[in-house]
């Protein structure tokens, strides 16, 4: 099987079933899964498979999770790097890291490359303070030239995540690069309920736990915040030696988190 060709660490078992809500984003990404699973279908009819997909949305809304789900659904390897890592590298290292990343993916195609926090290197070049950061610019240029260099038959799709699409260099968004955007929003009430249920799956809860009530008490929570809330509730329960999590644990966890947020905003102001 294909699993033998690439490292264990590149295999992903995440599926769309692990992503609660985000129906619109999933609908758009099902198409990307098909590009990876049946590239020949597109090549035969003379269509060019898109190379770049930008996932846009606030922190913790599941952008990384969705990218991994595309990889899991298509059963193709996942090659990833966080763009902020490049900022810590010596001059020249970023570009060569990009080269190896793309080389590995091409060797194992069909494959996905995922670049998290693309805005940290993908900001408009030569703009503002610190414009002309050599390392950043070289790394960005390398990403652009790798994407331009894909031949039409290579089914490597580059997915990138950002919460600041407004600061991106327009060169990144040109046709043939990240010309597809998938928007991911904070979850609504129903979606919060669904996300809570995903993270409650393997946890012992009393029958009194009211998921709808918890969802109503968590406006503006992201998926990551909700996951954290469920874990905090479990910690609260275990701390007082309970074997099941009940509503009071969720309320205490919520208090703790909201208090933490208030303290955080106090230190900012
Ligand atoms: P960031 O921009 O901060 O990197 P992100 O948008 O990439 O965040 P993830 O890292 O994918 O977010 O989300 C963090 C965690 O939150 C996920 O691993 C998952 O456990 C949980 N989560 C987020 N969104 C969802 C969702 N829609 N359904 C289920 N779990 C979710």
pLDDT score for 136: 79
The residue whose C-alpha atom lies closest to atom 2 belonging to ligand 1 is 59
Confirm or deny that 60 is annotated as ligand binding.
Answer: yes
Rounded average pLDDT over 173-186:
93
What pLDDT digit, counting tens, does each position of 203-255 carry? 999 999 999 999 999 999 999 999 999 999 999 999 999 999 999 999 999 99
CA of 45 to the centre of ligand 1 (A): 36
Contacts of 268 (CB under 8 A, 6+ apart): none
pLDDT score for 269: 45
Confirm or deny that 124 is annotated as ligand binding.
Answer: no
Reported confidence tier of residue 2, pLDDT bands at 50, 70, 90: very low
Pick the most confident of 117-121, 173-177, 251-255. 251-255
Q: For ligand 1, is residue 186 a contact (CB within 6 Å)?
A: no
The residue whose C-alpha atom lies closest to atom 16 belonging to ligand 1 is 224
Confirm or deny that 77 is annotated as ligand binding.
Answer: no
Looking from the CA of residue 191, the nearest atom of ligand 1 is: 27
Confirm or deny that 132 is annotated as ligand binding.
Answer: no
What ipTM describes this predicted complex?
0.94
What pLDDT digit, counting tens, does each position of 123-166 carry? 876 654 554 567 778 888 899 999 998 877 778 999 999 999 99
CA of 10 to the centre of ligand 1 (A): 19
The residue whose C-alpha atom lies closest to atom 15 belonging to ligand 1 is 224
Looking from the CA of residue 21, the nearest atom of ligand 1 is: 27
Q: For ligand 1, is residue 113 a contact (CB within 6 Å)?
A: no
Q: For ligand 1, is residue 160 a contact (CB within 6 Å)?
A: no
Q: For ligand 1, is residue 112 a contact (CB within 6 Å)?
A: no
Burial class (CB in 10 A: 0-12, 13-18, 19+), 171: middle
CA of 223 to the centre of ligand 1 (A): 5
């Amino acid at each position: 099987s294909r699993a033998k060709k690439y490292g264990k660490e590149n295999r992903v078992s995440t599926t769309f079933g692990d992503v609660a809500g985000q129906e619109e984003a999933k609908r758009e990404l099902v198409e990307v899964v098909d590009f990876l699973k049946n590239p020949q279908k597109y090549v035969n009819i003379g269509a060019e498979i898109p190379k770049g997909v930008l996932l846009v949305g606030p922190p913790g809304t599941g952008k990384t999770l969705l990218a991994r789900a595309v990889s899991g659904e298509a059963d193709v390897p996942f090659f990833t790097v966080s763009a902020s890592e490049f900022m810590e590298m010596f001059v020249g290292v970023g570009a060569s890291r990009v080269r190896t990343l793309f080389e590995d993916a091409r060797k194992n195609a069909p494959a996905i490359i995922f670049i998290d926090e693309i805005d940290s290197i993908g900001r408009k070049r030569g703009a503002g303070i610190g414009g002309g950061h050599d390392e950043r610019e070289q790394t960005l240029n390398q990403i652009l030239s790798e994407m331009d260099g894909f031949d039409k038959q290579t089914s490597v799709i580059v997915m990138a995540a950002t919460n600041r699409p407004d600061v991106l260099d327009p060169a990144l968004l040109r046709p043939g690069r990240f010309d597809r955007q998938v928007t991911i929003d904070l979850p609504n009430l129903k979606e919060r309920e669904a996300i809570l249920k995903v993270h409650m799956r393997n946890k012992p809860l009393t029958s009194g736990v009211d998921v709808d009530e918890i969802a109503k008490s968590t406006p503006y929570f992201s998926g990551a915040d909700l996951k954290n809330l469920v874990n905090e509730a479990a910690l609260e329960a275990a701390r007082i030696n309970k074997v099941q999590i009940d509503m009071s644990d969720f309320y205490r966890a919520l208090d703790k988190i909201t208090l933490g947020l208030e303290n955080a905003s106090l230190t900012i102001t």
